[in-house]
């Protein structure tokens, strides 16, 4: 398997999407509107992880592009749960790529406690032959609290090779509930937080303009 040949278009898709999503954030920052995008990350799935998942899910290596939907992955972090709906609407309105699938793990959280909104995008990459190659990209949209939980849980999954001891698993479920409560509370004081952020931005701009 020539991994470079397989993964180069996915790398391109990740880089282009990261720039486009950061562009949305920058456009919001030019207005007085709250930006629904805090930060964006992306990655091409590491080859070791591709091989492990292919084995676990019985995916033949000649079917990776069709059957492994997260060869390319992009993640958007936001401050408030309500921002996720705004981002979903922004993504739906795009004309440069399309949505293939949506999974709402916020309304339907996973047994582990995992919450996030997932979309599988069909993203066309331009080729040197003058055509387009369609790539599938997994977009995960989550709050900072959801991301904190998922990052910690992911490292524990790694540490325990997917077999987290029961006691820790139960604590993680409790921690997921605490992250949910944090999101709820923050949503309730969203107006206050946004006012404070606007004042801070104005002050920063004013001090930058001072000679």
Ligand X SMILES: Nc1nc2c(ncn2[C@@H]2O[C@H](COP(=O)(O)OP(=O)(O)OP(=O)(O)O)[C@@H](O)[C@H]2O)c(=O)[nH]1
Catalytic residues: 138
Question: What is the spatial distance between Cα 59 and Cα 6, in angstroms, rounded to a whole number?
Answer: 15
Question: What is the spatial distance between Cα 48 and Cα 180, in angstroms, rounded to a whole number?
Answer: 32
Residue (166 or 205) nearer to ligand X, CB: 166
Q: Is 137 in the site for ligand X (CB under 6 A)?
A: no
Q: Is 148 in the site for ligand X (CB under 6 A)?
A: no
Q: Which stretch binds ligand ATP (CB under 6 A): 43-51, 86-94, 123-131, 170-178?
A: 43-51
Residue 100 phi, psi dihedral angles, 5° rounding: -100, -35
Q: Is 187 in the site for ligand ATP (CB under 6 A)?
A: no
Q: In what order do the strands lie in the sheet with 132-143?
A: 39-44, 72-78, 132-143, 117-126, 98-104
Nearest of 145, 56, 133, 134 to residue 109 by alpha carbon: 145
Residues in contact with ligand X, shown as a per-residue x/- string from 36 to 75 under the rule CB under 6 A = ----------------------------------x-----
Task: Name the helix (H) or strand (E) containing 84.
Answer: helix 81-92
Q: Please give the size of the binding site for ligand ATP, defined by CB under 6 A.
A: 14
- Of 146, 150, 176, 179, the one binding ligand X (CB under 6 A) is 150
Minimum CB separation from ligand ATP for residue 162, in Å? 9
Residues in contact with ligand ATP, shown as a per-residue x/- string from 77 to 116 under the rule CB under 6 A = ----------------------------------------
Minimum CB separation from ligand X for residue 17, in Å? 16
For residue 46, CA distances in Å to 71, 87, 96 come to: 8, 27, 26
Residue 108 phi, psi dihedral angles, 5° rounding: -120, 80
3-class DSSP assignment, residue 103: strand
Which residues of the shown chain bind ligand ATP in the complex (CB under 6 A)? 41-43, 45-46, 49, 53, 70, 73-75, 138, 140, 154
């Amino acid at each position: 398997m020539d991994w470079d040949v397989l993964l180069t278009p996915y790398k391109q898709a990740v880089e282009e999407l990261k720039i486009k999503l950061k562009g949305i954030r920058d456009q919001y920052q030019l207005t007085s509107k709250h930006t629904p995008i805090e930060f964006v990350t992306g990655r091409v799935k590491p080859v070791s992880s591709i091989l492990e998942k292919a084995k676990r899910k019985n995916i033949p290596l000649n079917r990776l592009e069709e059957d492994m939907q997260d060869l390319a992955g992009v993640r958007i972090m936001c401050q408030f749960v309500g921002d996720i709906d705004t981002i979903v609407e922004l993504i739906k309105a795009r004309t440069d790529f399309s949505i293939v699938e949506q999974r709402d793990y916020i309304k339907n959280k996973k047994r582990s406690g995992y919450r996030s909104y997932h979309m599988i995008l069909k993203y066309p990459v331009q080729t040197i032959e003058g055509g387009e190659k369609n790539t599938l990209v997994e977009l995960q949209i989550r709050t900072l609290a959801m991301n904190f939980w998922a990052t910690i849980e992911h490292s524990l999954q790694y540490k325990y090779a997917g077999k987290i001891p029961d006691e820790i698993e139960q604590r993680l479920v409790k921690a997921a509930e605490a992250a949910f409560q944090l999101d709820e509370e923050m949503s309730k004081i969203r107006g206050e937080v946004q006012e404070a952020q606007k004042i801070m931005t104005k002050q920063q701009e004013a001090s930058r303009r001072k000679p």
